Chains A and B, each alone.
Chain A
Amino acid sequence: MTRSAIELHVDADDRRIARLTALAIGLTLAEAALPSPIPGVKPGLANIVVLLVLLQHGWRTAAWVSGLRVLAGGLLLGTLFAPGFWLSAAGALASLLVLALARHLPGRYFGPVSLSVLAAFGHIGGQLALAGAWLLPGVALITLLPVFAAAALLFGAINGVVVARLLDRPGADATLTQQS
């Protein structure tokens, strides 16, 4: 057998990113099947994974998981490079940037709920900024802004509580990391 010319070194970090990304993709797909009363308003369940990864493995891993999740989600849902994909990417990027700043907040006072809500606002901020600048210029997106903001607050808070509860369980460190 000819040896492959390219050899990919897969280390533990890569495997962890792949495993966590798979989890996030699963949630993205499950969420896509849920009917939504308003287009664009989604619970953002994959953000639970991103936030858990951020808190357990740091920002770099979370950024990988988030980015790969958007890419693979686009592939699987058939929206790759379609407007919805770019909106998703803009939202993910903005929320990662917000998290990069917000994770330096003192953890004694600001827990996962804060991070989740701020990230959710970052998400809609990024999406609406792109939508306003590129997809729907001139359309009064501001009229929709309160709806999206309310959804971000609600789902951000719920996701944050989920993350906090997952981390709060005894042996929480083992659940996502050593489960291979």
Chain B
Amino acid sequence: MTIVRSGDVAVLIGSAGLVIALAVHAWGGGQGDTAVIRAAGQVVETVSLASRQAYTVNGPLGPTRIEIEPGRARVAEDPSPRQLCVRQGWLTRSGEAALCLPNQVSLEIRGRDPAYDTLGY
């Protein structure tokens, strides 16, 4: 008898598929559907990621411009010197966040099931 038979191959492939499906299901992360914009820790706007919009939030350094598009959001412009939050680009998944610390503005994506209760940076 051979070591690995045809049915074994089927079982192995099926199991590998199951593992991948589980991984995608468990770790895929929820698609975000809401953007939460904060300035100095206070929520200034909670926007649904449904239509194309732009918001401008004023921080200590100047205006931060946030763009919302269907299914995603980003910090488009910010006066921070290192531009970290701008370079993060588009955020799509629940739990993702872009923080413009010098200007005290943050953009966070939320989904139906929040990935975390709270995040400390």
Contacts and interface: CB of A to CB of B under 8 A. Distances in A.
Interface residues of B, number: 20
Interface in A130-165: 142-143, 145-146, 149-150, 152-153, 156-157, 160-161, 164-165
Interface in B65-79: none
A111 B4 contact: yes
A110 to B, nearest CB: 4
| Chain A interface residue number, banded | 20 to 34
A153 B8 contact: no
Contacts, number: 71
Contact of B4 (A118, A149, A161): A161
Contacts of A168: 1, 3
Given A108-B5, A113-B3, A168-B3, A118 B22 contact: no
B19 A150 contact: yes
Interface string B2-13: 111111101110
B46 interface: no
B1 to A, nearest CB: 6
A121 B10 CA distance: 15
A32 interface: no
B95 to A, nearest CB: 13
The majority secondary structure among interface residues of chain B is helix
A114 interface: yes
A25 interface: no
Contact of A111 (B3, B22, B25): B3
Contacts of A150: 19, 23
Contacts of A145: 22, 26
A26 to B, nearest CB: 25
B119 to A, nearest CB: 16
A113 B22 contact: no
Interface string A100-123: 000001101111011001100100
Interface in A86-112: 105-106, 108-111
Interface string A11-28: 000000000000000000
B54 interface: no
B3 A165 contact: yes
Interface of A: 105-106, 108-111, 113-114, 117-118, 121, 142-143, 145-146, 149-150, 152-153, 156-157, 160-161, 164-165, 167-168
CB-based closest 4 A-B pairs: A109-B7, A110-B7, A146-B23, A113-B8
Interface of B: 1-8, 10-12, 15-16, 18-19, 22-23, 25-27
